[in-house]
A and B are shown apart, each in its own frame.
Chain A
Amino acid sequence: MKSDTLHLSAVYTKMIFRSWFQYRVDAILRSFAVFAREATSIIVVYFTLLKFDSLNGWNIYEMLFLFSLVYVTYGILIIFFTGLRDFGSTVKNGSFDRYILRPRGLLYQLIFANADWFAAVGHGGLGILLFLLSAAKIGVVWTPWRIVYYIFSIIGGVLIQGAIFLFLASLNIYLLETNSLKEVFYWNARKFEGYPISIFHKAIQFCMTFVVPFAFVNYFPAQFILRKEDMSLYPGIFMYLTPVLGIVMYILAYAFWRYSIKFYKSSGN
């Protein structure tokens, strides 16, 4: 990134923080509310799963480790990809025209003008908490190689989900409304995340691996560290694919975006 782009990114970030701190109480409550909302669903899962010894060989803390990857990646995701997640409304209310009128990259502006730091603190904070708790209980041994792998898988997991947002945002240019697609392909698919995919029907496993590859966001990276028995159901290479898949998917989505943006039609007055 060039230095003046870096400077602009800093100014954008400063503006976002200042805007939020116009309403100080709300800003703090917002992070807390996100944290509490998501933590509640985890607590429900926790007490439900306490009734079982394990699910397909996964104990409760190993599953919390799966959940932690979901939240850590999502926390980072909404710093960078909120603008793409909400691209539909940006187009509909005409704000996207303003981005076009400014001498900066369109994707760059969408990313940095819309970073949602406060929700990120909520999601990310929960993710880190779950990670610390579960990793300690499982007794994961952190070798340097595992740490490097873990970091790259998180980046890969963020890019996989970012690519899905970017792909849906590009579709938005043709359809003007993709909320229901996003509901099916992102939010509903995400509900399966957090559980070992081996417990689901084959069709769902297939979807989670090849259609909306959430399994690569948490299940396969977690397998690399935990090595559970059910990994024998899948090719071993899947454990290493997350960073590559993230990069490949993002490049493809970016190419589709570049192609689609040429067809952008302003929404009119």
Chain B
Amino acid sequence: MNFIEVQDISKTFKVNKRKAGIPGMIANMFAPKFEYKEAVKKISFNIEKGEMVGFIGPNGAGKSTTIKMLSGILCPDEGKISVGGYIPYKQRKEYVADIGVVFGQKSQLQWDLPVIDSFELLKAIYRIPEDKYKKNLDRYTDMLDMNGFINQPVRQLSLGQRMRSDIVASLLHSPEIVFFDEPTIGVDIIGKETIRSFIKELNEKDKVTMIFTTHDMQDIEQTCNRLIIIDKGSIMYDGSLHEIRNKYGTSRELIAEFNEETRVQPINDVIIEDKEDRRVSFTFDNNVTDVNKLMHEILGKYSVRDITVKEPEIESIIQKMYTGEAFV
């Protein structure tokens, strides 16, 4: 049996459909019209203990709904969820004692109090023994370099500092699974880097199972080995990052910078484009054209100053998937 098993879960929300204007408002009062919005449609996946899985998808794709069902906030209309032997929405108290949830957009800290006070409150809520609390607190605050602001009220913290505090807050009770819902949103580059490496270390050393949602592909590329892409309530892709490149991102771009103005002769199956500053771009399909051969050909024929090969950005691959191009 897998650690996390999700089987054909669906969730439909009833949305009140309002017509515009005052007549619409009055009509809505007496005869409200409802629309059913399927946020998640028959999703299934399994996750093993210690895995780090990234959930991505456009806004409104059903990521948050899925996370909410996994963490027990929402109950699925259909299907089954089992996490570490628990059924999240049924055994709430026992289950949530073993998980941590970070909502990037919603802090769980006490706004007016020093960070450390919120931690003390969580210690009491989760019944964390003194020694374990002390050990976790020291270790995490060290790793995230928080000693400078742990005694400052949360309202005075920068977004990055607040996010780091929120992450520690959800880890103090040593959860087996942690859900991160956009943990790097709005954080600057250095802050993001700190958070990513912390999450990675926690996963590698402590074998904490992690599930991530994000819009930032860098987050996924640097932390997750497995990716689940979800759009319009269905899973579009479930597999490794490496695989998605091989499958959907086979186009490569080679850019050569020449020493002198050069007219490049056409090459089979390669799109050649002149760029500024004596640079020429060669776009080709990795499965059709061999990079080595192409490079040899270019280096042999022309006087080249610099040459680079670019893999497609994972972002653009996914963009293609959303618009359906990748499946053509």
Contact = CB atoms under 8 A, between A and B. Distances in A.
Asked if chains A and B come from one complex, the reply is yes
Interface of A: 4, 7-8, 11-12, 15, 18-19, 22-23, 94-95, 97-98, 100-105, 262, 265-266, 268-269
A268 B126 CA distance: 25
A100 B74 CA distance: 10
A212 to B, nearest CB: 24
Contacts of B153: 22
Given A18-B117, A265-B13, A7 B93 contact: no
Contacts of A8: 124-125
A11 B117 CA distance: 10
Given A95-B106, A102-B126, 15 more contacts: A4-B124, A4-B127, A8-B125, A11-B120, A12-B121, A15-B110, A18-B113, A22-B112, A22-B113, A94-B106, A100-B92, A100-B96, A101-B73, A101-B96, A103-B126
Interface residues of B, number: 32
Given A19-B110, A103-B93, A269 B64 contact: yes
Given A11-B120, A97-B73, A266-B74, A103 B113 contact: no
B113 A268 contact: no
Contacts of A101: 71-73, 96, 99, 101
Residue picked from A4, A101, A268, most chain B C-beta under 10 Å: A101
B105 A269 contact: yes
A11 B113 CA distance: 13
B68 interface: yes
A105 B92 CA distance: 10
Contact of B125 (A18, A94, A103): A103
Given A19-B110, A22-B112, A103-B97, A97 B124 contact: no
Residue picked from B64, B97, B112, B120, most chain A C-beta under 10 Å: B112
A11 B121 contact: yes
Contacts of B117: 15, 18
A193 B111 CA distance: 37
Nearest to A97: B73
Q: Is chain B's binding surface mostly helix, strand, loop or mixed?
A: mixed
Contacts of B99: 101
A19 B75 CA distance: 34
B218 interface: no
Contact of A19 (B64, B106, B112, B125): B112
B127 A15 contact: no
Contacts of B48: none
A97 to B, nearest CB: 5
Nearest to A263: B75
A98 B106 CA distance: 9
Interface string B60-84: 0000110010011111000000000
Contact of A7 (B108, B111, B124): B124
A70 B273 CA distance: 83
Contacts of B64: 268-269
B221 interface: no
B260 interface: no
Given A19-B112, A265-B13, A100 B125 contact: no
A262 B75 CA distance: 9
A4 B105 CA distance: 31
A98 to B, nearest CB: 5
Nearest to A176: B16
Contact of B74 (A4, A19, A22, A265): A265
18 contacts: A11-B120, A11-B121, A22-B153, A97-B103, A98-B108, A101-B99, A102-B125, A102-B126, A103-B96, A103-B125, A103-B126, A104-B93, A265-B13, A265-B74, A266-B74, A268-B65, A269-B64, A269-B105
